[in-house]
Amino acid sequence: MVTPPFLVSAPGKVILFGEHAAVYGKPAIAAAISLRSYLLTTKHEPEFSELVTLEFPDIQLQYSWKIHSLPWDAVPKRSIDTVRPPSELNTTLVEALEHALADVHIPLQRSAALAFLYLYSCLCSPDMPGMTFSVRSTLPIGAGLGSSASVSVCLAAALCLVSGEVAPPEKKGDDDSDLNAANYAGIELIDAWAFLGERCIHGNPSGIDNAVASHGGAVMFQRMTKGNPNVRENIRSFPPLKLLLIDSRQARRTAVQVANVATLLQNYPLVTEPILNGIHAVTDEAYKLLQAPRENCDDAWEGRLRELVRVNHGLLVALGVSHPKLEAIRLAADELEIGETKLTGAGGGGCAITLVKRDIDESRIRGLIERLESHGFEVFETSLGGVGAGCLLPTKSEAAEWEEWEEKLFSLHHMLGLGDREDIQKTVGVGSIDGWAFW
């Protein structure tokens, strides 16, 4: 059991290969990006010890509940022999939590609060001390980048730590198999609880977003048919790759794009099926590349990966799911020879990604960013792959012994007062602050 304060974090994701073909039982690959969500857990002052609070300024959510007023009688009993939670939500508990959500009306806030209360009720107990869980994110929300899964993993990790379900991660060593196994068991449990958080938000998620947010690296996912279990393979060995993530700011609806492809398949099956099979083949080739040992991930390896990015985008264009704004982004990157660009996700708008060439001159990247921003696009410099969920603990157990930077780092007031994404990353971010450890 970990005593607050502490920080946890989890990454967002992009779909790297396999969009739309995945709808028809073919594999897709999603990969973590370095844009992340962060959650600070702190103890309440004694006068508020009967409350549990969720703070999420990025969606204007701030709410407290009396711990003893939560529907503890509706929480399903867990067998002492059962470690992993069930994969389905307990409808009795969901219905019982409706009363606690009576004053939370905005859909985005309500789904986040439900995910939190469901996990809190299952993992904690009525005698827990009062705490605040404060979420901040460098991820754009609602852009198809796995922001809800990133937050769900943060909630699951924090609640598993305070309840003693998992231990904090330790530094991994190549020759310490017991330690690596313990960390893996911990993140598998966090992933399973985060999936239930995603169910609270999305109803019937695939599980790929929370898997990437938990494990980092990349995940190959294939939804099987005829009752067969889905396939999910974690890919954690490849090195982080420089990536530009560009938000076209063109609204799109996933359901419309999926329906358009379904119509194309119905009208022209002999034409459309080979395109979907081509996407499948690209995904298979990419999967083989991403499993290569790190020492083999040289310039030629990156070049082959970029070629597959280009081919995958071309096949998606043939399905009719691109958009003039996405093509403008791709053309600008091509003209400056920055790398290879493809849409990510359902298409019809949303985001594009550019896999940047190794050792590209920084001035050319800046030139592309300025050009894209001048046309109203939002650009994020990030990296592909990298670490999954992690935890940052104070160096000393007593606040009186903290360094000055720690007092600021683990301060609720300071956390809530952070400004933009750059401020969040600089203050608490993975890669900016030493001491982060990952499961």
**CA separation for the pair 161, 75 (Å, rounded):** 19
Q: β-strand 51-56 against 339-344: which pairing, if any? A: unpaired
Q: How far from 199 is each of 69, 206, 215, 244, CA to CA, in Å?
A: 24, 9, 19, 30
List the end-to-end C-alpha distance of the chain, in Å, as a whole number: 16
Given 209, 284, 359, 361, the catalytic residue: 209
Environment class of 241 (CB within 10 Å of its CB; exposed 0-12, middle 13-18, buried 19+): buried
Q: Over the chain, what HEC string results?
A: CCCCCEEEEEEEEEEEECCCHHHHCCCEEEEEEEEEEEEEEEECCHHHCCEEEEEEHHHCEEEEEEHHHCCHHHCCCCCCCCCCCCCCCCHHHHHHCCHHHCCCCCHHHHHHHHHHHHHHHHHCCCCCCCEEEEEEECCCCCCCCCHHHHHHHHHHHHHHHHHCCCCCCCCCCCCCHHHHHHHHHHHHHHHHHHHHHHHHHHCCCCCHHHHHHHHCCEEEEECCCCCCCCEEEEECCCCCEEEEEEECCCCCCHHHHHHHHHHHHHHCHHHHHHHHHHHHHHHHHHHHHHCCCHHHCCHHHHHHHHHHHHHHHHHHHHCCCCCHHHHHHHHHHHHCCCEEEEEECCCCCCEEEEEECCCCCHHHHHHHHHHHHHCCCEEEEEEECCCCCEEECCCCCCHHHCCHHHHHHCCHHHHHHCCCHHHHHHHHCECCECCCEEC
**CA separation for the pair 133, 115 (Å, rounded):** 13
Q: Do 248 and 349 touch, CB atoms closer than 8 A?
A: yes
Q: β-strand 351-356 against 241-247: which pairing, if any? A: antiparallel
Identify any residues that bridge with 222 across adjacent strands, giving them in sequence order.
231
Is 209 one of the catalytic residues?
yes
Task: Report the catalytic residues.
Answer: 209
